[in-house]
């Protein structure tokens, strides 16, 4: 995306440049400070909203326990109503969590790829940090899917609340109004209006089991490459498919050195050169391989067009790119 000269090196005449545009160091620092403060504020705001939803669920569960066990005659289905309300809170919190992860991802990029590099020799930020930040600003997308957000929030918070509700519901059915002497008695007491008790129990078990599956799938989603092949087949649609933002560019040109030099200088990306031969013409070509981000693709195409208008360029999706500034992101709690 951009090229940095002079920032953190003391006295450089140029600050931040991008395709001929330049920003002096003081203006660039001011812009970065305001952007960082804004992203921190947004991340903190959504973190607070997450805590608020959890607090609502905790207060609701506590109120239900106090009411239902207050009198033997109080109905058990209050626990089921509260369970549905807690599920609603879980959905709201999962949606908020996706926004929180998005803001946290931007803060993570600025802290690890820019600020941390400024404070350590050679005092030069990662070459692609600006491209990654620009990608989240121009084409924002959630780093995690909704189902994964539900699984993560259930595993970290709502597992305990829902387990307490279901356990309390079972105790209520077993002891009120009198102690149950058999499992069939418990099932009879679990009925809600015209719905037989056994179907109510099955419904609760299915919902709880589905949430447990989501929690397990979310736990292994970030370690997709370590999951055995048979488990991937069993998990089916629950296993996340790669959603790459990186691209692999293959450039076939006669001006390999000139193209590679500009990519190294302007994009800050490494380039691997191979020798190729046209099978029809028998002519020798330079084949360049380069991993870039989405926002760098137009700049890359412009470089190739300016250096060699007859070059052949193929840009394809990269399932996974690691190293050289490409690093996985682990969503925060």
Q: What is the CATH number of domain 246-317?
A: 3.30.70.120
Q: Report the DSSP beta bridge partners of residue 290.
A: 249
* Alpha carbons 17 and 114: distance in angstroms, whole number: 16
Query: How far is residue 255's CA from residue 311's CA, in Å, rounded to a whole number?
Result: 8
Average pLDDT over residues 101-119: 79
More confident: 317 or 97: 97
Domain ranges of the chain: 3-238, 246-317
pTM of the complete model beyond 0.75: no
Instruction: Residue 112: name the closest of 48, 36, 43 by CA.
Output: 36
Residue 325: Cβ within 10 Å count? 19
Q: What is the pLDDT of residues 39-80, one digit of tens each?
A: 889 888 888 998 999 999 999 999 999 999 988 889 999 999
Strand order in the sheet with 284-293: 272-277, 284-293, 246-253, 312-317
pLDDT digits (tens, 9 = 90+) for 239-279: 344 444 678 888 998 888 999 998 888 877 788 888 888 88
Q: Where are the beta strands (DSSP E) in 100-185?
A: none
State which H helix or E strand residue 213 sits in: helix 197-221
Average pLDDT on 123-136 reads 69
């Amino acid at each position: 995306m951009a090229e940095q000269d002079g920032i953190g090196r003391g006295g450089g005449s140029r600050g931040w440049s991008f395709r001929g545009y330049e920003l002096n160091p003081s203006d660039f620092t001011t812009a970065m400070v305001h952007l960082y403060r804004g992203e921190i504020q947004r991340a903190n705001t959504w973190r607070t909203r997450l805590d608020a939803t959890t607090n609502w669920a905790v207060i609701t569960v506590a109120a239900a326990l106090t009411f239902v066990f207050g009198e033997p005659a109080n109905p058990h289905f209050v626990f089921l109503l509260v369970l549905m309300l807690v599920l609603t809170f879980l959905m709201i919190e999962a949606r908020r969590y996706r926004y929180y992860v998005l803001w946290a991802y931007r803060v993570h990029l600025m802290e690890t790829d820019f600020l941390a590099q400024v404070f350590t020799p050679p005092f030069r930020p990662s070459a692609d940090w600006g491209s990654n930040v620009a990608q989240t600003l121009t084409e924002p997308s959630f780093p995690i899917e909704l189902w994964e957000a539900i699984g993560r929030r259930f595993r970290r918070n709502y597992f305990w609340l829902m387990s307490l509700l279901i356990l309390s519901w079972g105790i209520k059915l077993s002891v009120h109004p009198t102690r149950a002497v058999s499992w069939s008695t418990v099932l009879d007491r679990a009925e809600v209006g015209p719905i037989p008790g056994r179907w109510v129990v099955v419904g609760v078990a299915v919902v709880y089991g589905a949430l447990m599956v989501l929690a397990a799938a979310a736990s292994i989603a970030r370690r997709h490459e370590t999951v055995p092949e048979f488990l991937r087949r069993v998990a089916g649609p629950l296993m996340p498919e790669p959603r790459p933002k990186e691209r692999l560019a293959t450039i076939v040109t006669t001006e390999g050195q000139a193209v590679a030099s500009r990519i190294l200088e302007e994009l800050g990306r490494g380039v691997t050169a191979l020798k190729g031969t046209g099978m029809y013409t028998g002519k020798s070509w330079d084949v360049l391989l380069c991993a870039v981000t989405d926002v760098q693709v137009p700049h890359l195409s412009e470089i190739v067009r300016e250096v060699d208008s007859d070059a052949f360029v193929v840009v394809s999706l990269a399932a996974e790119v690691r190293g050289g500034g490409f690093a996985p992101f682990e969503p925060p709690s």
